[in-house]
């Protein structure tokens, strides 16, 4: 990647639709996430240090670590970015599918060439979940199939990591698929073929980082990942009493959504936000700073 983690952190926006959406979801994990932008600001937040020489030393060491291709930081950053880019393709396809309902003359054709939006959304949620596990492994130097290590850590997620999972559950689960989204996702992922999975834009782009031999093996890993996280996500929703209506009420305070049809809202969010990349950049910066500070 051509940009360093310092440049990526310095380029994060202070305010855009992504940050407004995340602020709208603060009620899910109150006070966990703040939009720290700028690499030096993150150093101060993580370490509490403000000595210019020490800040520069940490910054320089973090750049070296990030640039080392034997480490997993750049791969994790690429995955976070790619998942969000693929979201745009998902949203475009979902909207095309919905347009088929509104234009009788072309509706049949549209539905033949575009995926069912619920199925596409279910696959997308699973791909994002697998991306989270994969990035966790890359950042921590673990084998890519270390689901057990991830499950041992996800309960201790804080800050931008917890915000990312909360957003995944809220805007990629509850809004487009409803209160029984976990059951819908499980049914979908257990009944799709390896060929259908290969047609998914997000899967095709990050598949080389997903463990498993061929599409069948990777599909099995995706199923195992979702099965491992399903109860945790269910407990997360139950403990917080989350509902689709509650999430929409909070989001509408920050984002003006003209059409209250939830499938359109989900597509709009996919098209206009990049919360995986935004919070992922912060996660990687924090991890690098922790490591660099410990090594200096």
pLDDT at 213: 87
**What is the average per-residue pLDDT within 180-209?**
91
DSSP-derived letter for residue 227 is H
pLDDT at 85: 83
Banded pLDDT at 84 (limits 50, 70, 90): confident
Supply the DSSP string of 31-89, one letter for each residue.
T------SHHHHHHHHH----HHHHHHHHHHHHHHHH-TTSSHHHHHHHHHHHHHHHHH
pLDDT at 94: 57
Closest CA to 282 of 24, 63, 77, 58: 77
Q: Average per-residue pLDDT in the chain? A: 88
pLDDT at 151: 96
Banded pLDDT at 188 (limits 50, 70, 90): very high
pLDDT digit string, tens, across residues 12-53: 999 999 999 999 999 999 999 999 999 999 999 999 998 999
**What is the average per-residue pLDDT within 58-81?**
95
**What is the average per-residue pLDDT within 122-148?**
93
pLDDT digit string, tens, across residues 221-243: 999 999 999 999 999 999 999 99
Range of the domain at 34: 5-295
- Measured distance CA(163)–CA(31) in Å, rounded: 10
Domain count, the chain: 1
Is the confidence at residue 96, as pLDDT, over 60? no
Give the residue, 110 or 57, on which the prediction is more confident.
Answer: 57
**Longest Cα pair distance anywhere in the chain, in angstroms?**
68
Give the residue, 106 or 41, on which the prediction is more confident.
Answer: 41
- Measured distance CA(201)–CA(86) in Å, rounded: 6
Banded pLDDT at 103 (limits 50, 70, 90): very low
Tokens of 34: 């703040």
pLDDT digit string, tens, across residues 148-174: 999 999 999 999 999 999 999 999 999
Q: How far is CA 268 from CA 82, 110, 125, 287, in A?
A: 18, 19, 16, 31
Q: What number of CA atoms fall less than 13 Å from residue 198's CA on the CB side?
A: 7
Share of residues in the chain with pLDDT > 90 (%)? 69
pLDDT digit string, tens, across residues 245-279: 999 999 988 776 655 567 678 778 888 899 999 99
Q: How far is CA 45 from CA 19, 49, 53, 159, 282, in A?
A: 19, 8, 16, 12, 11
pLDDT at 112: 43
Three-state DSSP class for residue 101: helix
pLDDT at 100: 47
**What is the average per-residue pLDDT within 80-109?**
61
Span between the terminal Cα atoms of the chain, in Å: 25
């Amino acid at each position: 990647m051509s940009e360093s983690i310092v440049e990526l952190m310095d380029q994060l926006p202070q305010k855009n639709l992504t940050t407004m959406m995340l602020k709208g979801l603060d009620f899910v994990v109150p006070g966990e996430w703040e939009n720290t932008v700028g690499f030096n600001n993150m150093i101060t937040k993580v370490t509490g240090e403000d000595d210019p020489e020490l800040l520069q030393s940490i910054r320089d060491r973090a750049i070296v670590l990030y640039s080392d291709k034997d480490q997993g930081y750049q791969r994790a950053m690429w995955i976070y970015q790619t998942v969000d880019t693929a979201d745009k393709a998902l949203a475009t396809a979902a909207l095309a599918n919905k347009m088929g309902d509104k234009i009788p003359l072309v509706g049949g054709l549209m539905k033949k060439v575009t995926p069912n939006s619920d199925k596409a959304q279910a696959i997308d949620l699973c791909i994002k979940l697998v991306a989270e596990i994969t990035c966790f492994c890359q950042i921590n130097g673990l084998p890519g199939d270390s689901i057990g290590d991830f499950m041992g850590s996800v309960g201790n997620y804080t800050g931008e990591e917890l915000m990312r999972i909360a957003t995944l559950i809220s805007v990629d689960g509850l809004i487009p698929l409803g209160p029984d989204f976990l059951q819908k996702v499980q049914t979908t992922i257990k009944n799709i073929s390896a060929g259908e999975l290969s047609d998914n834009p997000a899967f095709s782009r990050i598949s080389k980082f997903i463990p498993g031999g061929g599409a069948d093996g990777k599909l099995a890993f995706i199923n195992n990942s979702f099965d491992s996280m399903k109860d945790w996500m269910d407990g997360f929703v139950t403990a917080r009493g989350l509902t689709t209506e509650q999430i929409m009420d909070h989001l509408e305070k920050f984002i003006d959504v003209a059409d209250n049809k939830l499938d359109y809202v989900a597509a709009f969010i996919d098209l206009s936000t990049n919360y995986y990349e935004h919070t992922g950049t912060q996660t990687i910066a924090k991890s690098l700073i922790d490591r660099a500070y410990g090594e200096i």
